[in-house]
Amino acid sequence: MSNSKKMLEALSNGDLIEAQVAFEKALVEDLPEERMQLADNLFQLGFVEESEKLYSKLFEEFPEEETLKISLAEIAIENDELEKAFSYLESIEETSDLYAQSLITQADLYQVLNIPEVSERKLNQAKEIMPNEPLLDLSLAELYFSSEDYVKAIAVYQELKKVLSKEESPINLNERIGVALSRIGDFEEAVNYLELSIEEEETVERAFQLALTYYQLEQNERAIELLTQVRLMDESFNQVYYPLAQILHDEGRHEEAIEMAEEGIVQNPYETSLYHLASETAYHLGDKDQAKQYLEEVISLEVDADLSKIRLAELLLKEEEYDEVITLIATLEVKEQSFAEWILAQAFNGLEEFDQAKKHYDQAKETLIDDPEFVKDYALFLREEGNREESNRLLQMYLTMVPDDVEVASLLDNEGW
């Protein structure tokens, strides 16, 4: 048995010491074709450093072998050594049989550099050389998908479905089309493709994506069913807990929502949104102390602390604990946040410190003037302060945003209040 085969066997048995010994021997004793096969296998297994040593030694021995240039360029991209990758690829002439492959690898390189238009050009150049290669079309579709050009991606995926069987395709085309359709808001059509992908093979990711799509269609029971299934399939799939808790909350199943949020917190204690949702749900159930406790807990972890402090300040504001609001806002890491200024304005207004309230309203309006709730609140504050003219102007602006607010319309017409 060659040293290369001994190394792979040792790796499959988890014997890393024996694998290292066999690797060192393979470097100097094995035939070139055996070392080449070992390098390919190691690269696929993620042993980048070892595969690079093998490819580099082979390249020293066979500098004319352009397959090695492609392999070394791929490793250089993996190692973020982009100039080195370019050097290998650009040395491959247009007359080479591997020129098309070099173009495909260059496309990968430009995608790493976030220049998708050049990636597309390289792939189209390769397509001119290999016009009937469906996997090249797949690379184009994947480029469009990763660049969020979903309409183009869908068109190519649809064509690929006509020529590639599910066994021949390295990805599930129905899943990709379904996700792309979902991303452009065509949820009804997306469901059809995602259901097909589930029929072909049910995976956690596919069931999760299908559940989110049903949620967008407001088919909450089906979404809950799928998300529950995802949780049972893999309870460590952290993404499932927040949407499941949120949908249960939306459906009025508040106790279940809190239970799910708490399960999610156990799995990922740094997921801020779960604490916020649990707090909101507890407050809805009338458990104000528990609602406050969730927010204090996430603040103590210093995870998105400013956001959580603002949430807690909102809760305290509802409870008219104005001094506590002011003290809490003073601890924000980022000062002069517009929403925080608005909370301070309301707190000072509650304490009847109207000059301070006006100061913070004025600071908040710089960026919140397009928020209808802020405009209404500020306008009513100004009205109480006797500034009817500015108040009416803001209320008229508010009615352009929320034209069905009969109460405000009545106020302006002096028919109520």
- pLDDT > 70? residue 417: no
Phi then psi for residue 252, to 5 deg, are 80, 10
Tell me, yes or no, whether 232 and 291 share the same domain: yes
Tell me, yes or no, whether 230 and 246 share the same domain: yes
- Candidates 170, 133, 178, 129; CA nearest to 153 is 178
Tell me, yes or no, whether 177 and 208 share the same domain: no
Residues 6+ apart with CB under 8 A from 174: 161, 193, 194, 196, 197, 200
- pLDDT > 80? residue 414: no
Band of pLDDT at residue 166, cut at 50, 70 and 90: confident
- What is the phi-psi region of residue 2: left when phi exceeds 0, alpha when psi lies from -120 to 50, beta otherwise? beta
CB 183 within 8 A of CB 203: no
Residue 323 domain-assigned (yes or no): no
- pLDDT > 90? residue 266: yes
Residue 88 domain-assigned (yes or no): no
What whole-number distance in Å separates Cα of residue 70 and Cα of residue 91? 10
CB 309 within 8 A of CB 326: no
Residues 6+ apart with CB under 8 A from 330: none
Tell me, yes or no, whether 230 and 215 share the same domain: yes
- Candidates 360, 343, 355, 350; CA nearest to 320 is 350
CATH number for position 175:
1.25.40
The model carries a pTM of 0.80
Residue 380 domain-assigned (yes or no): no
CB 274 within 8 A of CB 248: no
Distance of CA 28 to CAs 25, 33, 63, Å? Answer: 6, 13, 18
Tell me, yes or no, whether 288 and 213 share the same domain: yes
Q: Which domain holds residue 179?
A: 132-201
H helices present in 30-172, as ranges: 32-45, 48-61, 66-78, 82-90, 99-112, 116-129, 134-146, 150-163
pLDDT tens, 221-232?
999 999 999 999
Residue 387 domain-assigned (yes or no): no
pLDDT tens, 93-131?
999 999 999 999 999 999 999 999 999 999 999 999 999
Q: What is the mean pLDDT of residues 380-396?
A: 94
DSSP 333-351: SS-S-HHHHHHHHHHHHHT
Residue 326 domain-assigned (yes or no): no
What whole-number distance in Å separates Cα of residue 28 and Cα of residue 17? 18
Q: Give me the pLDDT at residue 416, please.
A: 44
Tell me, yes or no, whether 294 and 208 share the same domain: yes
Phi then psi for residue 97, to 5 deg, are -65, -20
Residue 265 domain-assigned (yes or no): yes
Given the structure tokens 């998908």, which residue do they identify? 145
User: Long-range pairs for 369-375 at CB < 8 Å and ≥24 separation?
Assistant: 372/398, 372/401, 372/402, 374/342, 375/401
pLDDT tens, 50-85?
999 999 999 999 999 999 999 999 999 999 999 999
- pLDDT > 50? residue 192: yes
In this structure, the dihedral spanned by the alpha carbons of residues 101, 102, 104 and 105, taken in order and rounded to 10 degrees, is 120
pLDDT tens, 282-323?
999 999 999 999 999 999 998 889 999 999 999 999 999 999
Tell me, yes or no, whether 137 and 169 share the same domain: yes
Tell me, yes or no, whether 220 and 231 share the same domain: yes
CB 94 within 8 A of CB 106: no
CATH number for position 226:
1.25.40.10
Q: What is the mean pLDDT of residues 183-187?
A: 97
- pLDDT > 80? residue 415: no
Residue 397 domain-assigned (yes or no): no
- pLDDT > 60? residue 152: yes
Tell me, yes or no, whether 225 and 155 share the same domain: no
The last residue of one of the domains, among 178, 201, 224, is: 201
- pLDDT > 80? residue 239: yes
The last residue of one of the domains, among 161, 185, 201, is: 201
Residue 238: in which H helix or E strand, if any?
Answer: none
DSSP 370-399: T-HHHHHHHHHHHHHTT-HHHHHHHHHHHH
Q: Give me the pLDDT at residue 321, please.
A: 97
Two tokens at 391? 């108040």
Residues 6+ apart with CB under 8 A from 366: 338
Tell me, yes or no, whether 190 and 251 share the same domain: no
Q: What is the mean pLDDT of residues 215-224?
A: 97
Tell me, yes or no, whether 277 and 223 share the same domain: yes
Band of pLDDT at residue 381, cut at 50, 70 and 90: very high
Residue 399 domain-assigned (yes or no): no
Tell me, yes or no, whether 256 and 281 share the same domain: yes
Two tokens at 181? 């359709």
User: How many domains are there within the chain?
Assistant: 2
- pLDDT > 70? residue 363: yes
The last residue of one of the domains, among 159, 186, 201, is: 201
